[in-house]
Amino acid sequence: MADVERAAACYSRCMRVSRRSRKLFRALLPIPIAAGIATWLLLSGCGGALSGSASEDELGATTTVRVHYPATAIWLRGSSGPLRWSRGVAMKSAGADTFTYTSRSLKTRTEFKPLLADSSWSRGPDFAVDPGTTVDVWPRFQSDHGRVERIDDWWSPALHDHRPMWIYYPPSYAEQPGERFAVVYMHDGQNLFDAAFSFNGVTWRVQEAMDQGASDGSVREAIVVGIGNTADRIWEYTPSDGGYGGGGAGAYLDFVAGELKPQIDANLRTSADRLDTAMIGSSLGGLVSACAGIWHPEVFGLIGAMSPSTWWDGALIVGMVRLTSASAVKPARVYVDSGDSNDDWQNTAALAQAYRDVGWIAVEHVVGHGDTHTEAAWARRLPGALRFLLGPRAALP
């Protein structure tokens, strides 16, 4: 009876017990006392382990931040919940240069930053995570600037020629040995980085555009491979004779897709996925980029045709794009632009419309007001093309 009396006393102290709970309590009394009392206490919450604490629903779903970086320790600071900007929280090591932070107390989208020694902040804008989600981030702490390497006399067995190559490595490449990067293949490599090699001494300022995108998070970091042109430029960049001795685009793109890209993927830390593989060019380089999206969409999922020579062979490329409407694989994203001053903008607008009409392609068409067919104009429009094709850095606020 002492156990029954203690149970009754507990019953009288529980303040908001429903009628159903009281009936359940009376029904449980004939059960062996210890089991009955334990069961009722569990159901009613009287004296239970969760008494006076938040419930599962009140705590919310688990939010997880995973930081990937080769360090012995990483701290985290943030804007809400248990995270504060004034003091860091030590993350838990999960091995393989990975650190984790979990919380069930975050109720709103939270900005955060990883730190080394709780004092050295990661570069670039804050990261962000939504309650109940998991984010993976690859911060950098050392630099906002990438580097460019020139390789002379790259030999192509398929084309039987030599050409120079320029390779841009993004800021995180040396600092994040576990990260893999998207790759942008660009034509007319001489005009991309170094004024000493470029046409009329004007470049596309590719490194500056990529570095700025990494610094402000507007463009995810990527490797850029600038493919030097040769004396056979017209032949390599055109899909048909066109009255100018063209028609070698098929062989040239086979070289890029079947010879150059496998070597880049084998020797650099790349993501070989087509959604991480872009091709961008201007003029005839824009024309051959459009051809890549038609003939090799399984390789190049991101296409940038800047001031493409759409006029070539009676605007042949517009019809070629339209014929892909029944294709099972198409480029995922296509950027098309031109200037509005002597830059074949009417045919280029028709090309952009052809991409829209075939469907299942995200298309951005830009007309640069006052822009002509020049490297300076392409340099101005390149950051926008990169933002559209590559997208921003992950987990931006």
Q: Which domain holds residue 43?
A: 2-53
Identify the pLDDT of residue 59. Answer: 60
CATH number reported for the structural domain that contains residue 358 in this entry = 3.40.50.1820
Give percent of the chain above pLDDT 90: 84
181, 231: one domain: yes
Same domain, 45 and 177: no
pLDDT tens digit sequence for 348-389: 999 999 999 999 999 999 999 999 999 999 999 999 999 999
Do 275 and 384 lie in one domain? The reply is yes
* Statement to judge: residues 16 and 114 lie in one domain: no
d(CA 384, CA 381): 6
38 & 61 share domain: no
pLDDT of residue 178: 93
Q: Assess whether pLDDT exceeds 80 at residue 304.
A: yes
Mean pLDDT, the chain, as a whole number?
Answer: 89
Token pair 């529980």 is found at: 14
> What pLDDT sits at residue 155?
96
Between CA 319 and CA 312 the distance in angstroms is 12
Domain-located, residue 396 = no
| Reduced 3-state DSSP string for 195-245 | CCCCHHHCCCCHHHHHHHHHHHCCCCCEEEEEECCCCCHHHHCCCCCCCCC
Residues 119 and 219 in one domain: no
Same domain membership, residue 71 and residue 160: no
Residue 73 included in any domain:
yes
pLDDT average, residue stretch 299-315: 98
∠ CA 235-236-240 to the nearest 5 degrees?
55
Alpha helices in 52-128 (DSSP H): 56-59
* The pLDDT of residue 58: 52
Domain at 92, CATH number:
2.60.40.10
Same domain, 277 and 309: yes
The mean per-residue pLDDT over the stretch 225-233 comes to 98
How do residues 50-64 score in pLDDT, each as one tens digit? 333 444 445 679 999
Query: What is the distance of C-alpha 153 from the center of its chain?
Result: 32
| Consecutive H or E run containing 38 | helix 33-44
Residue 371 is encoded by which pair of tokens?
């822009």
Number of H helices, E strands in the chain: 12, 17
DSSP 151-208: EEEEEETTTTEEEEEEEEEPTTTTT-TT--BEEEEES-GGGTS-TTTSGGG----HHH
Q: Kindly indicate the confidence band of residue 172, based on its pLDDT and cuts at 50, 70 and 90.
A: very high
pLDDT surpassing 80 at residue 313: yes
**Which residue type occupies 157?**
P
Q: Say if residue 16 is exposed, middle or buried (CB neighbours under 10 Å; 0-12, 13-18, 19+).
A: exposed
Is 303 a member of any domain? yes
> 98-148, pLDDT tens digit by residue?
999 999 999 999 999 999 999 999 999 999 999 999 999 999 999 999 999
The edge-to-edge listing of strands for the beta sheet with 134-137 is 92-95, 98-103, 63-68, 134-137
Angle between helices 33-44 and 2-13 (to 10 degrees): 10
Let me know whether 295 and 380 are in one domain: yes
Residues 3-15, mean pLDDT to the nearest whole number:
45
Token pair 């080769």 in the structure block, residue: 70
pLDDT in tens, 25-74: 344 444 444 444 444 343 444 433 333 344 444 567 999 999 999 999 99
154 and 111 in a common domain: no
Whether 104 and 236 map to the same domain: the answer is: no
Question: What pTM was estimated for this model as a whole?
Answer: 0.85
- Range with the lowest mean pLDDT among 45-59, 200-214, 321-335, 355-369? 45-59
Residue 142 lies in a domain: no
- In this prediction, residue 60 carries a pLDDT of 76
